[in-house]
Structure 1
Amino acid sequence: MGDIVNSIVGVDGVILGTIVPFLFVLTVVVFVHEMGHYLVGRWCGIGVKAFSIGFGPELVGFNDRHGTRWKLSAIPLGGYVKFTGDMNATSTPDSAEIEALTEEERKVAFHTQPVWKRALTVFAGPLFNFLLTIAVFAVLFGTYGRPVIQPVVAEVVAGSAAEQGGFKPGDRFVSVDGNRVESFADVQRYVSARTDDELAFVMLRDGKEITLTATPRLTEQKDALGNTIKVGVIGVATNQEVGQGRVEHYGPLEAVGQAVLETGSIISRTGQFLKRFAFGREDKCQLGGPIKIAKMSGQAAQLGFLWLVNLVALLSVGIGFLNLLPIPPLDGGHLVFYGIEAITRRPVPERAMEAVYRIGLLAVLMFMAFVVWNDLFGC
């Protein structure tokens, strides 16, 4: 009997501690992304057949006065907006359906719209993800401030790249590889994603600027959630006394400005990571799928609601970035087709589009299989 009770408690713990936070994080990010498509599409006069959170069979839903079916579907790993004239949830045109449309429906069908309206509607999804991240960071910075510690070296690790490069306690970072440094966190951001790259560091020593070089080495560390991650380090540390740590407070406009800069920094680092990953220069274990996101959601929820909200912001900017990759059926793939159409003044031939879609879909499915494999067996 005790084993049964323990099993029930264990299941409840998994549901409340991991699955519920995971669904919260994913649903917010997906809803905002799809709402971007929906709102801009409606603003452009495009008809919307369905707005779904999740895929597969409908669990519950309703029709609004515009004829849009709003629904919650059985597989909660995404969502979609289906516009008038679409063949499926990826906004692939359906010639047969378009021909069967009434004259009124044809006027609001997605694929009969000017290319700029289609491009704007597609781009709106990732844009809303970025705006969500900016909004979250702005609220957090404006409400709670931001911890800041000066970029001053308190300790140089023996045998490290920094020691070999001539770094000394008391040195102050001015720039890293041409990027201006304002805090020690800036140094960590610029260094962590540049393993095995020789970097130039402008340092202030005894009132004079000097240039040192060091190559970050891949090192295992614990992140804020307690997970083991591999990042590049040069082997310097600071502390509260030397770095004069404080909490920086911002007014509303300053908070928004800092949020924009932080979001831009995350986008830049994500692009840099994927570029290095493509050339085999990043640890594959840094990429995870639904299981890893669920685990992180549970860990964040245990630390508090603010941590969960912060995870929403980070996942949102990541989803926005990945959707802009020029791979059909992602939003970026659609934008490539619209760019070609804008230049040539004619749509991409349907047969060519279908062939590219198949290749792109295969690439997306392979990537999804890779990250799930990572979740289950790879790391």
Structure 2
Amino acid sequence: MIETPGILWSILFFALAIAPLIFIHEMGHYLVGRWCGVKAEVFSIGFGKPLAKWSDKRGTRWQIGWMPLGGYVRFAGDMTATSEPTAEWLSLPPEERNRTFQAKPVWQRALIVLAGPATNFLFAIIVFAGLFSFYGEPRVDPVIGAVVPGSAAAQADLRAGDRIVAIDGNPISRYDQIAMIVQVRANQVTVFSIQRGSVPLNISVTPKAEKVDNPGGAPVLLGRAGIMSGPVRMVKLQFWELPGAAVKFTGQAVGGMMTGLRQIIVGQRSVDELGGPVKMARISGEVAMGTPIQFLFFMTMISINLGFINLLPIPTLDGGHLVFYVAEAVRRKPVGLRAQEWAFKSGLVMLLAFMLFVTVNDLGLWNRLAGLIG
């Protein structure tokens, strides 16, 4: 048994985690494209020289590239990054031209592009539904597990075992709701409605202000009550509960990513939390040393991440294409070719710069450079 995964094992496990998710993403584009009557010329998993390739009866070439860090579906007629008609496209026979990507109305092109991220989210929903059915949904009841000595909660005489029913009249059903309310009530008298045994009580708590560094501006003051949660319990869900719970869990994961990205942009969180291929490979190796369920959960979170990132409004990503399609639908004509070319070239530079940054960050080269300069 491998106790500490080496670099080769980590790369292998990362490939095992990411390649199926890329396939799922591109399959979403492919299937919706077929539904819309668009011919797929190439379906590639990975970039670079193909390690294997074959063609099907529809004329689609399927291939596996040597570098499994991405993939693509090239539809007929999709000859440029902006999917603009070219002389070659205009010279096609009408029947063949009608099977090309840019011949389709804007709503169909948007559906084809949106299908990739949507399939990543759908995969996550299906996996979560299965996990909640067989293993249960993780829940933390709004019951105080422990009180930090000297904290606002301790001074107000909140105790371990107290069930929090409401805070300032806001009903509480999950423990994670508590922090969302308390952190915006620093130094404010806050009423905790609790159940202590069979006795209902209203206890006034004044959350203490904790200064959180904000490199992008003035420090942020967050309220802290000083309570800790109890244990996580797994609750197996009934069949009819699964879709809603799985969609909700996926939505919460996306919400967490949006919040984290916003906090990094405004400086509330460190850029060290960003991870690139090197960090993901290392984590993949570590997770693979656990149980298959843990690895599946890890893959599912990566799938959500892929869907989320691809929806960012950055040219060259799916989200960037969707922005242009929305503009086209509103203007009743495509955005100018020069504007699209400028945007896609800028987007490509942005993505390459970001990948370089996170890779250098993963390797810890910034800290080494700072040490040399210092």
Report the counterpart of residue 324 of structure 1 in structure 2: 311
User: How many residues are treated as equivalent by the alignment?
Assistant: 348
Q: Give the secondary structure class of the aligned counterpart of 1:50.
A: strand
CA distance in 2, matches of 1:254, 1:248: 11
Question: What is the one-letter code of the residue matched to 1:203?
Answer: F
Q: Per-residue displacement from partner, 1:206-260 (whole Å, max 9, x unpaired)?
A: 52456756456769xxxxxxxxxxxx976422345xxxx6431112221222111
Q: Per-residue displacement from partner, 1:305-334 (whole Å, max 9, x unpaired)?
A: 111100111111111011111110111110
Q: Per-residue displacement from partner, 1:146-204 (whole Å, max 9, x unpaired)?
A: 3433211132223557558x57224434468998643335557x58xx9x755797632
Identity within the alignment, %: 41
* Cα gap change, 1:160 to 1:77, in 2 (>3 Å): farther
Larger Rg: 2
Q: Per-residue displacement from partner, 1:275-295 (whole Å, max 9, x unpaired)?
A: 122111112121101111111
CA distance in 1, matches of 2:258, 2:318: 16
TM-score, with normalisation over the residues of structure 1? 0.82
Work out whether residues 152 and 205 of structure 2, in 8 Å CA contact, stay in contact via their aligned partners in 1: no
* Cα gap change, 1:10 to 1:277, in 2 (>3 Å): closer
Question: What is the one-letter code of the residue matched to 1:118?
Answer: R
CA apart distance, 1:274: 1.3
CA distance in 1, matches of 2:108, 2:258: 27
Report the structure, 1 or 2, having the larger helix content: 1
1:168 to 155, 158, 181: 158
Pair 1:15 & 2:8 matched: yes
* Cα gap change, 1:145 to 1:348, in 2 (>3 Å): same
Work out whether residues 41 and 47 of structure 1, in 8 Å CA contact, stay in contact via their aligned partners in 2: yes
Work out whether residues 164 and 194 of structure 2, in 8 Å CA contact, stay in contact via their aligned partners in 1: no
Root-mean-square deviation over aligned CA pairs: 3.1
* Cα gap change, 1:120 to 1:167, in 2 (>3 Å): farther
Q: Give the secondary structure class of the aligned counterpart of 1:154.
A: strand
Report the counterpart of residue 205 of structure 1 in structure 2: 194
Work out whether residues 83 and 91 of structure 1, in 8 Å CA contact, stay in contact via their aligned partners in 2: no
Q: Per-residue displacement from partner, 1:310-360 (whole Å, max 9, x unpaired)?
A: 011111111101111111011111011000110111011111100111122
* Cα gap change, 1:167 to 1:291, in 2 (>3 Å): farther
* Cα gap change, 1:64 to 1:373, in 2 (>3 Å): same
* Cα gap change, 1:41 to 1:234, in 2 (>3 Å): farther
Pair 1:122 & 2:109 matched: no
Question: What is the one-letter code of the residue matched to 1:184?
Answer: Y
* Cα gap change, 1:272 to 1:178, in 2 (>3 Å): farther
Within a 5 Å distance, the mapping from 1:63-212 to structure 2 comes to 63-87=55-79, 92-93=83-84, 95-160=86-151, 166=156, 168-169=158-159, 170-174=161-165, 181-184=172-175, 187=178, 190=180, 198=185, 203-206=192-195, 207-208=200-201, 212=205
CA distance in 2, matches of 1:101, 1:181: 63
Report the counterpart of residue 4 of structure 1 in structure 2: none
* Cα gap change, 1:267 to 1:341, in 2 (>3 Å): same
Pair 1:302 & 2:293 matched: no
Q: Which runs of 5+ in 2 are unaligned?
A: 214-222, 368-374
Q: Which runs of 5+ in 1 are unaligned?
A: 1-8, 220-231
TM-score, with normalisation over the residues of structure 2? 0.83
Report the counterpart of residue 41 of structure 2 in structure 1: 49
Pair 1:33 & 2:16 matched: no
